[in-house]
Chain A
């Protein structure tokens, strides 16, 4: 237990350091690209630009801006007001966008794990049959096809030819189905391959052979002795999978008109919305860091061979 707490503490310190580094680099990058949040097709008079800059503290010296904003984040979790979406503070944008992205990610992952593991197990158990070849071919396709192509195909198929899902928008479970499917499929494909490999490896292990030899039903052997070990690589892949689902949703949110965080990420950068872009970068950093830590932790708990350090 003690090494667990120590481990978590260590990771927390690392996360803070990473966040600080990300903050610094983003801050410098944002301000060194040309343009500012207020540049538009119509140039605004200098007097007005001055007022706007004052409103967002952009008239202060850069070092002071850096410090003021950092203090605001650390002491109040206040990421400031958006410069583009002026009616919203960055915290409000996150509060509205995060549940959408999270919902999408959860469905995509749940779908990916169920489909991927099932396919992997079937492939491994019936290896070198037609089912195995077909499933693994599908998995290769799933990994290779980018999700926006998949989305177009899915829309064609399930929106226009078989009219069961709406074309886009957010608010009902039906509207989540297609994007979650497109987002989860590549991950499912990867998981299928991982779990198949894992299964095949486990099937040759001595304790599995013993179990089969002593006459346990095949199903019990697979579920109790093979699957748990075979799933370890899948668990370790969950970290990258979360990252993949989060970044993959940037494209799908646009195609399916979903109000998640992804679209803000791109727009904030192109519109020089300094505060929103910073909020997005920091949020993604935190999410990825936390998810990776959780996965490492889970791995250490379920696999007795792994030690936390």
Chain B
């Protein structure tokens, strides 16, 4: 290189470096929000029908609003500090429940509007519930409303001959009869409604014995695509009526089948006609009626749960999913609307001025700060960048406990160990009881977790109104040793080495180590600790290739059922291979019992079985430990760990109310 080039290069590189620093130094300044708090992991989605986690929930509860909303009722319990939340009228002004508990009639408020200015009607709810249940939405919470008429059939695409069905033709935007499917399932293709008269199935494919599970599944699906559905289609004008002109038409999913026969139309799916015959119907613009197969005592709690919140049809159909959730597109109906969303940073929401109760909403802006690290959150809280943190570092809990801004209360969730009841000797109830009785839970909550957790001997956490669980089997080392001897392992001799599996976390390892130690000392049972990263952990449990595994469960609604129906034979969440016909019977009986008192008794009986037979070993009930600035009015812990932000405000007589501006 000639020297001029070299010199020139040095100058250019220098300029480039300066330009880079200048580029890096430009910052768009954002004024701090009125209220900012730690919201955990970055939310994966803002779509109420797709979200599952708590961080998503906290945002959706403020951006959207259902027929009902969980709001405080009465004052916090003086003993536990728990604020009881009940489902209260929100988008619905009032509701009526029929005597048999199977029909709910909601009447919507006058003048409620979406953020785009259009009115909210009962049809929005009917459409939203249908979208939530649509198989292609793949909402994980769909099972919660399985008692709504036809919801299960619709959600799991089950159709039988004679059913009233809907057929979606293969003409979604951008689709041609031979093209790939458009994955946007809203807006839908042309809909035809009618009665399913028959299914013509070609010969089932023959697979060799050495075909893998996956190949079989694939072959089955390919085969089902070739089925020809014969539907007596009702004239479009009279869809939903029993009278009216009908014509017999034939449909199939496979492009090949449809192309081979002119009379066969290509379609996406035949589903039951939820729109006209399902359990969620808009009678008129203001009346929304829900029909249930059986009464569900906690149904109002479900209605106040975010998967049943409405989404704006026009918005979803115009932008498609997930683009409709972008800040520039989204249309919502809650107390707050989305201002902007910065990945792994924050979601800024601002007050929605047309919200029906807007004059009672105090904070103009709220920041949902994505923060996973406990220490960082604590630092930011202490320096005034956050006003509420809910996940505190265990190492400083002792010191924080005495402060005025510390809140702690029992939560509706349990930490337990799953046992694989198929693996001997865990199939012996005496062995399970011995293990449970040999664990000193007090040591765990006092020396390891230290957040004030309650030792658990049963599975339903305390604090559910009207329910008192059984006592369960307390620690008793002598009895445990006797039981183990009775089961054929006196003094632990001959007991196989078992593995205790947990997922990577600062919390699970020390707990597992303490239990390993206790079982070794008390029963001479040796456990091998197995740490697994989350994805592998979940898969191993679901394939039931474990012996003992750590697990947790958070109640979906404040009712014992959410903790008990998991263990019914065949529940996909159970994975314990435990089955007890009497237990199944009790849970089933409770689900159709109308008298609340009698129902709770049935559930209690069921829990007694669970706490004696011990297919799982309860360890402790979680307790919340959170900090909120003392100048916030209306903040109180609740069992479901819900915090409606729209009711919070700063104490007005306090001059130092506003958060520090940075």
Contact = CB atoms under 8 A, between A and B. Distances in A.
Contacts of B29: 171-172
A167 B538 contact: no
Contacts, number: 173
Interface in B237-264: none
B462 to A, nearest CB: 22
Contact of B27 (A87, A92, A173): A173
B325 interface: yes
B379 interface: yes
A35 B373 contact: no
Contacts of B497: none
Contacts of A247: none
Interface stretch (A20-28, A45-53, A121-129, A204-212): A45-53
Interface residues of B, number: 71
Given A51-B136, A159-B379, A168-B376, A270 B345 contact: no
A294 B143 CA distance: 56
A259 B42 CA distance: 10
A88 B380 contact: no
A67 to B, nearest CB: 15
B5 A43 contact: no
B140 A35 contact: no
Interface stretch (A101-109, A192-200, A281-289): A101-109
A133 interface: no
Contacts of A169: 345, 369, 380, 385
Contact of B343 (A48, A55, A97): A97
Interface string A262-305: 01100000111000000000000000000000000010111010
Contact of A35 (B139, B383, B539): B539
Contacts of A40: 52, 140, 538
A166 B379 CA distance: 9
Contact of B6 (A42, A86, A301): A301
A86 B135 contact: no
A84 B27 CA distance: 29
A255 interface: yes
Residue in B136, B344, B371 whose Cβ sees the most chain A Cβ within 10 Å: B344
Interface of B: 1, 5-6, 9-10, 13, 17, 20-21, 23-25, 27-30, 42, 44-47, 50, 52, 135-140, 142-143, 155-157, 181, 183, 221, 322, 325-326, 342-345, 369-373, 375-377, 379-380, 382-383, 385, 533-536, 538-540, 542, 551-552, 572-573, 575, 662
A90 B400 CA distance: 40
A39 B30 contact: no
Contact of A302 (B6, B379, B552): B6
Contacts of B136: 51, 55
Contacts of B42: 85
B416 to A, nearest CB: 13
A36 B538 CA distance: 10
Given A86-B44, A87-B326, A301-B1, A43 B372 contact: no
Given A87-B47, A257-B380, 15 more contacts: A34-B536, A35-B534, A41-B551, A43-B542, A47-B157, A48-B140, A86-B47, A86-B50, A106-B24, A168-B379, A168-B385, A170-B345, A257-B345, A271-B534, A304-B6
Contacts of A52: 138
Given A97-B343, A167-B382, A173-B25, A34 B376 contact: no
A54 interface: yes
22 contacts: A34-B540, A35-B534, A40-B52, A41-B552, A43-B572, A48-B139, A86-B322, A87-B325, A92-B343, A96-B342, A97-B344, A102-B24, A163-B383, A168-B376, A168-B379, A171-B28, A171-B30, A173-B27, A260-B344, A263-B372, A301-B1, A304-B6
B340 to A, nearest CB: 11
Contacts of B137: 51
Contacts of A54: 181, 183
